[in-house]
């Protein structure tokens, strides 16, 4: 294949030269603002662990704007008669123009994301308080490159069929969002989001029958249980969100559709982008430059596209109308809706075609769209699932209690599924579960999630069954070094990253843990940061199960406390005192610098965790610079510290008594 | 050679060009005249492949223009409504053309700019309307394309520059054997430069001829005889128009073999003057002869 038949780089160079101001803005605006936001976020924190959105917040919004501007800039000649005459008269074919501009636009998007990546990398390296997974930055560049490219090629399709900028934007929105929007409308039963439709669980096998199920004498409940039907709902529907990238972000934000797999979304977006390039090419080769400065090549096409733009409005109106009753107020709402729709139609016509299309044709288009949406909406609502039969569950995914997906694995074992469902049926009758595990179940009619609260015996039973299930073992995403990229201590004030010796020690100790539960406020809480499938996660792990790690952590705390020796003029807040052998802790004010002096005197002491120890959790401010920091000091000299504390308490009591006496006298 | 065969084009339901058929021979200047909306610009855009014909064919050197970048290297078009990239200087435009036309002659381009006193490094947006037209024309001429299409060619040019530009076009045609197609709604603009003229009306060529033939075949004759006379006295002469005021008649004579003068001299006229017709007059009388009123078309 001769490349010169497909591309004309001389044309591309000149076309880009013509649009150099916009291209320059596209390349630098987003990366520069991104890095400024990143720096602003990072400088105000002790340790900053950024997610993809922290380092590229503006890229998300830019995805819906920049590629559209870029495409319109590169194809700007199609909107004016004289510019289209000028460009189309040159010895360049439509195919060359389209493919060259597409390639050029994708190159600009690529350069923009490389600039963004480089700036973020430099910022991350220069900022000492940033703990980041560098792989995430590269994946960020990939995510935005694919997302931007997709929006760009969608706009190119719109450019190929529309003849003014307003209709280009309208068609771009349709290409980007219409099909997934309709799918969401059908899939969510006309936006019945969050409304649990399942009202009963059906259990026909013995394995899933709950051991303790109390109907409290309710006859309907007792009759249902005899039939193996257990009323009550504890399920939350999980809606699949594997659309293309631009719509997925919106659906997860607006429709709270959480079941997304970014790798799958990226692949889908990438392949659809390739298909869209060819569709755009076919349409551009057939583009009629005769209709430049109108909307589309015919009035029929104009009405068709305009009707499609009405779909989201009418879907929302359909949902609203279903909620209405026949009252005067509601009638007014209906009339208001129609007025709104026709106002939109008139404005759309005036802007895009500079005249108002026959009102009867417009009315007919609204009625047709309305009938189709009502029909689709009624069908989807009638498909509502109201009962869940345990035997229909194909797959069960076990997650940690916080749904962080850090320890996630799945099973097809009916025995495990029945056992868990039996506990769940019991659970829904109880309130406020304290210890819980989250589950996701997949059936052919949909996916749901629920939580169960379990005692130690049941937890052991579940873990035992899972430990014998090969599918679960293989699929279990336990903590491992490839996913974990760092730890933080003491509420993100100290970080342990891959360069620290302790990092490997901790990784080796915790990697076999399958289920991770939250922990109390222990100073041995490690916040584990993982990065997997484009998502940054963290989970708290209490590492007090291992003495070696505990001593290492104490050493890190005490080493950090040495910083306070360098501060000449300081202000210490109150000290939180805790002990190894008791959960409660107490606050104390440092009188006459007694605690400060105690800390300084014992900084070099090696702490043995096999003995009793006490810790002081405090903040320390340098008055000269105004900077403050948080510290934890750990010591085995518990009795010495206690005697200081007793003295301070006595002084406090004396002062209080003096104050009371003074007030009385 | 440009061959146009049964070409039709309509916008909405109205035909702009209908079953248009004519040829433009190589190495000639073809003038296309017609009233506003006659379809001149549409025809040029179809020839250039910007618009697509609804039916019929156009071939240039026996090849179809659409999506044929190789053929379009031999064609250049200056539309009536000019376009230049914002912020571009004449030099930038020259380079733009140079990058897309293989035979673009930069030296000739600079020479023409110098001849017309156009500042190569001044932004074109700051030029006057006429200067912009000159810029577009010299860019096109410097491409050395075999076929040049100029829409409303001399629109906005002052008489001096118009003559200069005509000389440049003629020189180019002679030097490079170029075929030039130019349109105008003003016949006088084209009469001293075109070899052929076609009158476009209601989507078709109403009248087409070589200018030299038209001009040499027709004469305006002023005649007065001793006796009273009328049109019937000149039955053996091909008369397109006869107007008599007093004893003097003005006759438009079509004379292909040059015999009319001898015939009229035999009638021993008191006054007999043979005058050449302007092209506009030729068209007017030809149209009248065909039963049309010329002012409707131009």
Q: Which residues on B lie below 8 Å from A289 (Cβ)?
A: 45, 50-51
Note whether B161 contacts A: Cβ–Cβ < 8 A: no
Q: How far is A83 from chain B (nearest CA, A)?
A: 6
Beta carbons of B48 and A89 less than 8 Å apart = yes
Beta carbons of A10 and B100 less than 8 Å apart = yes
Q: Among candidates A578, A584, A569, A572, which has minimal Cα distance to A630?
A: A572
pLDDT(A629) > 90: no
Print burial letters for A488-514: b (CB count within 10 Å at least 16), e (below 16): bbbebbbbbbeeeebbeebbeebeebb
Q: How far is A33 from chain B (nearest CA, A)?
A: 28
Query: pLDDT, tens digit, for every residue of A359-413?
Result: 888 888 888 998 998 888 888 777 776 788 888 899 998 876 555 544 568 899 9
Question: Which of A71-85, A607-621, B149-163, B178-192 holds the top average pLDDT?
Answer: A71-85
Instruction: Select from B100, B102, B149, B152 the residue whose CB has the most chain A CBs within 10 Å, as the one to mutate to test that interface.
Output: B100
Residues B89, B226, single domain; the answer is no
Q: For residue A344, give the H/E element and its range.
A: helix A328-353
In angstroms, rounded to a whole number, what is the distance separating the alpha carbons of residues A416 and A437?
Answer: 14
Of A8, A10, A289, the CB nearest to B51: A289
For chain B, the distance separating the N- and C-terminal CA atoms, rounded to the nearest angstrom, is: 27
Residues B8, B135, single domain; the answer is yes
The percent of residues above 70 in pLDDT, for chain A, comes to: 88
User: Chain A: residue nearest B9 by CA?
Assistant: A290
Whole-number pLDDT of residue A405: 47
Which of B195, B212, B229 marks a domain boundary? B212
Question: pLDDT band at residue A481, thresholds of 50, 70 and 90?
Answer: low
Average the pLDDT over A230-255 and give the result.
81
Range of the domain at B89: 2-212
Q: How far is B230 from chain A (nearest CA, A)?
A: 54
Of B11, B75, B99, the CB nearest to A290: B11
pLDDT(A101) > 90: yes
Note whether B257 contacts A: Cβ–Cβ < 8 A: no
Tell me the DSSP string of A526-555. EEEEEEETTEEEEEEEE-TT-HHHHHHHHH
Q: How far is B50 from chain A (nearest CA, A)?
A: 6
Whole-number pLDDT of residue A403: 53
Q: How far is A112 from chain B (nearest CA, A)?
A: 24
Whole-number pLDDT of residue A338: 82
Q: Indicate the range of A62-66, A132-136, A325-329, B131-135 predicted with least confidence.
A: A325-329
Q: Which residues on A lie below 8 Å from B132 (Cβ)?
A: none
Q: Which residues on A lie below 8 Å from B125 (Cβ)?
A: none
Residues B191, B264, single domain; the answer is no
Beta carbons of A94 and B67 less than 8 Å apart = yes
CATH number at residue B234: 3.30.70
Residues B205, B252, single domain; the answer is no
In angstroms, rounded to a whole number, what is the distance separating the alpha carbons of residues A147 and A273?
Answer: 9
Beta carbons of A85 and B101 less than 8 Å apart = no
Residue reference for tokens 């629920």 = A450
Whole-number pLDDT of residue A78: 92
Beta carbons of B50 and A84 less than 8 Å apart = yes
CA distances A472 to A437, A451, A453, A514, Å, are: 15, 18, 21, 11
Whole-number pLDDT of residue A515: 43
Chain-centre distance for alpha carbon B199: 9
Query: pLDDT, tens digit, for every residue of A213-225?
Result: 777 778 888 888 8
Note whether A80 contacts B: Cβ–Cβ < 8 A: yes
Q: For residue A267, give the H/E element and its range.
A: helix A262-285
Q: Among candidates A251, A237, A240, which has minimal Cα distance to A197?
A: A237
Of B52, B73, B83, the CB nearest to A288: B52
Given a contact cutoff of 8 angstroms between Cβ atoms, the answer to whether B5 and B21 are in contact is: yes
Q: Which residues on A lie below 8 Å from B82 (Cβ)?
A: 82, 86
Instruction: Select from A73, A90, A353 the residue whose CB has the most chain B CBs within 10 Å, as the one to mutate to test that interface.
Output: A90
Beta carbons of B79 and A96 less than 8 Å apart = no
CATH number at residue B125: 3.40.50.300
Which of B212, B243, B269 marks a domain boundary? B212
Q: Which residues on B lie below 8 Å from A96 (Cβ)?
A: 69
Note whether B209 contacts A: Cβ–Cβ < 8 A: no
Those of residues 31-60 in B touching chain A at CB distance below 8 A are 45, 48-52
Q: Among candidates A398, A408, A441, A401, which has minimal Cα distance to A236?
A: A441
* CB–CB contacts below 8 A, A to B: 67
Residues B97, B199, single domain; the answer is yes
Average the pLDDT over B132-151 and give the result.
94
Q: What is the ipTM score, two decimals?
A: 0.85
The domain tally of chain B equals 2
Note whether B14 contacts A: Cβ–Cβ < 8 A: no
Instruction: Select from B12, B40, B45 the residue whose CB has the most chain A CBs within 10 Å, as the one to mutate to test that interface.
Output: B45
Whole-number pLDDT of residue A108: 96
Helices and strands (DSSP H and E) totals, chain B:
10, 14
Q: Which residues on A lie below 8 Å from B45 (Cβ)?
A: 85, 289
Q: Which residues on B lie below 8 Å from A301 (Cβ)?
A: none
**The pair of three-digit structure tokens given for residue B94, joined into one six-digit string:** 């020259």
Residues B153, B140, single domain; the answer is yes
Residues B19, B101, single domain; the answer is yes
Of A82, A92, A290, the CB nearest to B83: A82
Of A84, A88, A90, the CB nearest to B100: A90
Residue reference for tokens 């995510």 = A143
Beta carbons of A89 and B77 less than 8 Å apart = yes
Q: Indicate the range of A48-52, A144-148, A205-209, A241-245 predicted with least confidence.
A: A205-209
CA distances B199 to B80, B186, B206, B254, B281, Å, are: 18, 11, 6, 19, 14
Note whether A81 contacts B: Cβ–Cβ < 8 A: yes
Query: pLDDT, tens digit, for every residue of B184-229?
Result: 877 777 877 888 888 888 778 877 777 777 666 778 899 998 888 8
Whole-number pLDDT of residue A197: 63
In angstroms, rounded to a whole number, what is the distance separating the alpha carbons of residues A182 and A247?
Answer: 12
Beta carbons of B73 and A86 less than 8 Å apart = no
Note whether A193 contacts B: Cβ–Cβ < 8 A: no
Q: For residue A579, give the H/E element and its range.
A: strand A575-579
Three-state DSSP state, A215 = coil
**The pair of three-digit structure tokens given for residue A350, joined into one six-digit string:** 């005036």
In angstroms, rounded to a whole number, what is the distance separating the alpha carbons of residues A72 and A105?
Answer: 10
Higher pLDDT, A153 or B243: A153
Q: How far is B92 from chain A (nearest CA, A)?
A: 10
Residues B207, B263, single domain; the answer is no
Q: How far is A80 from chain B (nearest CA, A)?
A: 10
Note whether B63 contacts A: Cβ–Cβ < 8 A: no
Q: Which residues on A lie below 8 Å from B52 (Cβ)?
A: 288, 290
pLDDT(A648) > 80: yes
Residues B267, B284, single domain; the answer is yes
Q: Which residues on A lie below 8 Å from B100 (Cβ)?
A: 8, 10-11, 14, 90-92
Whole-number pLDDT of residue A281: 96
The percent of residues above 90 in pLDDT, for chain A, comes to: 24
Note whether A92 contacts B: Cβ–Cβ < 8 A: yes
Beta carbons of B51 and A83 less than 8 Å apart = no
Residues B205, B244, single domain; the answer is no
Average the pLDDT over A305-312 and give the result.
89
Note whether A6 contacts B: Cβ–Cβ < 8 A: no
Instruction: Select from A17, A73, A85 the residue whose CB has the most chain B CBs within 10 Å, as the one to mutate to test that interface.
Output: A85
Q: Which residues on A lie below 8 Å from B83 (Cβ)?
A: 80, 82-83, 85-86
Average the pLDDT over B41-53 and give the result.
92
User: Chain B: residue nearest A16 by CA?
Assistant: B85
Residues B148, B96, single domain; the answer is yes
Note whether B101 contacts A: Cβ–Cβ < 8 A: yes
* Polymer length of chain B: 298
Query: pLDDT, tens digit, for every residue of B151-182?
Result: 988 888 888 998 899 999 998 888 888 999 99
Residues B145, B58, single domain; the answer is yes
Which of B161, B185, B212 marks a domain boundary? B212
In angstroms, rounded to a whole number, what is the distance separating the alpha carbons of residues A311 and A115?
Answer: 39
Beta carbons of B48 and A88 less than 8 Å apart = yes
Q: Which residues on B lie below 8 Å from A18 (Cβ)?
A: 85-86, 88
């Amino acid at each position: 294949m001769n490349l010169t038949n497909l591309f004309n780089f001389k044309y591309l160079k000149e076309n880009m030269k013509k649009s150099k101001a916009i291209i320059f803005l596209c390349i630098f605006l987003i990366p520069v603002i991104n890095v400024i936001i990143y720096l602003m976020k990072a400088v105000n924190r002790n340790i900053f662990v950024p997610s993809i959105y922290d380092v590229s917040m503006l890229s998300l919004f830019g995805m819906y704007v920049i590629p559209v501007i870029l495409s319109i800039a590169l194809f700007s000649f199609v909107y004016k008669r004289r510019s289209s005459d000028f460009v189309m008269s040159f010895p360049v074919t439509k195919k060359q123009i389209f493919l060259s501009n597409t390639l050029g636009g994708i190159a600009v998007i690529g350069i923009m994301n490389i600039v963004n990546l480089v700036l973020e990398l430099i910022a991350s390296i220069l900022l000492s308080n940033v703990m980041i997974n560098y792989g995430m930055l590269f994946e960020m560049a990939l995510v935005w490159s694919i997302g931007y490219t997709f929006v760009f090629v969608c706009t190119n399709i719109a450019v190929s069929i529309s003849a003014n900028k307003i209709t280009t934007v309208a068609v771009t929105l349709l290409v980007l969002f219409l099909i997934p929007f309709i799918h969401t409308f059908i899939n969510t039963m006309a936006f019945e989001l969050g409304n649990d439709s399942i009202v009963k669980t059906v259990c026909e096998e013995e394995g899933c029958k709950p051991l303790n199920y109390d109907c409290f004498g309710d006859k309907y409940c007792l009759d249902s249980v005899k039939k193996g039907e257990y009323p009550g709902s504890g399920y939350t529907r999980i809606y699949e969100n594997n659309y293309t990238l631009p719509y997925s972000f919106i659906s997860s934000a607006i429709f709270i559709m959480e079941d997304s797999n970014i790798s799958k979304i990226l692949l889908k977006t990438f392949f659809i982008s390739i298909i869209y390039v060819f569709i755009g090419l076919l349409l551009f080769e057939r583009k009629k430059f005769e209709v430049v400065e109108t909307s589309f090549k015919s009035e029929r096409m104009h009405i068709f596209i305009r009707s499609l733009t009405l779909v989201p409005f009418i879907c929302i109106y359909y949902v609203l109308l279903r909620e209405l009753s026949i009252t005067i107020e509601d009638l007014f709402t209906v009339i208001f809706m129609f007025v709104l729709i026709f106002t939109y139609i008139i404005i759309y016509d005036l802007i895009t075609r500079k005249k108002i299309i026959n009102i009867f044709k417009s009315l007919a288009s609204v009625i047709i769209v309305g009938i189709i949406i009502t029909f689709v909406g009624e069908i989807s609502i009638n498909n509502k699932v109201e009962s869940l039969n345990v035997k229909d569950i194909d797959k069960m995914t076990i997650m940690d209690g916080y749904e962080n997906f850090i320890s996630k694995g799945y099973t097809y074992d009916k025995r495990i599924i029945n056992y868990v469902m039996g506990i769940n049926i019991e659970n829904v009758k109880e309130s406020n579960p304290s210890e819980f595990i989250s589950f996701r179940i997949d059936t052919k009619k949909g996916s749901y999630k629920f939580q169960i609260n379990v005692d130690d015996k049941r937890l052991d039973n579940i873990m035992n069954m899972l430990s014998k299930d090969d599918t679960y073992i293989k699929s279990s995403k336990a903590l491992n070094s490839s996913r974990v990229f760092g730890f933080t201590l003491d509420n993100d004030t100290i970080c342990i990253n891959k360069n620290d010796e302790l990092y490997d020690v901790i990784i080796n100790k915790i990697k076999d843990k399958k289920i991770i539960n939250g922990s109390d406020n222990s100073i041995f809480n490690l916040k584990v940061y993982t990065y997997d499938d484009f998502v940054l996660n963290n989970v708290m792990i209490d590492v007090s199960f291992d003495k070696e790690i505990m001593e290492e952590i104490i050493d890190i705390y005490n080493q950090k406390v040495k910083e306070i020796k360098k501060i000449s003029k300081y202000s210490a807040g109150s000290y939180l005192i805790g002990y190894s052998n008791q959960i409660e802790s107490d606050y104390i004010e440092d009188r006459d610098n007694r605690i400060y002096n105690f800390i300084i005197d014992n900084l070099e002491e090696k702490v043995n965790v096999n003995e009793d120890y006490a810790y002081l959790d405090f903040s320390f401010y340098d008055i000269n610079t105004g900077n403050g920091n948080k510290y934890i000091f750990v010591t085995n000299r518990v009795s010495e510290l206690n005697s200081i504390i007793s003295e301070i308490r006595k002084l406090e009591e004396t002062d209080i008594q003096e104050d009371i006496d003074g007030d009385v006298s | 050679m440009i061959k146009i065969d049964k070409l039709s084009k309509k916008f909405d339901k109205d035909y702009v060009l209908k079953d248009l058929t004519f040829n433009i021979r190589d190495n000639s200047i073809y003038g296309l005249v017609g009233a506003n909306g006659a379809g001149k610009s549409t025809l040029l855009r179809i020839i250039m492949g910007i618009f697509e014909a609804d039916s019929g064919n156009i071939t240039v050197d026996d090849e179809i223009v659409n999506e044929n970048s190789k053929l379009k290297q031999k064609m250049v078009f200056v539309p009536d409504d000019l376009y230049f990239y914002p912020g571009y200087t004449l030099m930038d435009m020259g380079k733009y053309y140079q990058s897309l036309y293989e035979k673009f002659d930069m030296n000739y381009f600079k020479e023409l700019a110098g001849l017309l006193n156009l500042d190569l490094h001044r932004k074109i947006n700051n030029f006057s309307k006429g200067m912009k037209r000159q810029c577009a024309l010299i860019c096109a001429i410097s491409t050395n394309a075999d076929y040049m299409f100029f829409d409303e060619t001399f629109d906005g040019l002052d008489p001096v520059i118009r003559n200069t530009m005509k000389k440049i076009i003629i020189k180019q045609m002679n030097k490079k054997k170029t075929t030039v197609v130019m349109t105008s709604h003003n016949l006088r603009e084209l009469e001293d430069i075109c070899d052929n003229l076609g009158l476009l009306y209601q989507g078709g060529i109403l009248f087409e001829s070589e200018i030299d033939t038209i001009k040499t075949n027709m004469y305006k004759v002023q005649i007065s005889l001793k006796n009273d006379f009328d049109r019937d006295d000149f039955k053996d002469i091909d008369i397109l128009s006869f107007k008599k005021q007093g004893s003097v008649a003005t006759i438009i004579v079509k004379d292909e073999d040059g015999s009319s003068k001898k015939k009229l001299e035999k009638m021993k006229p008191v006054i007999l003057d043979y005058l050449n017709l302007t092209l506009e007059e030729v068209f007017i009388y030809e149209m009248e002869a065909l039963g049309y009123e010329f002012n409707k078309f131009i």
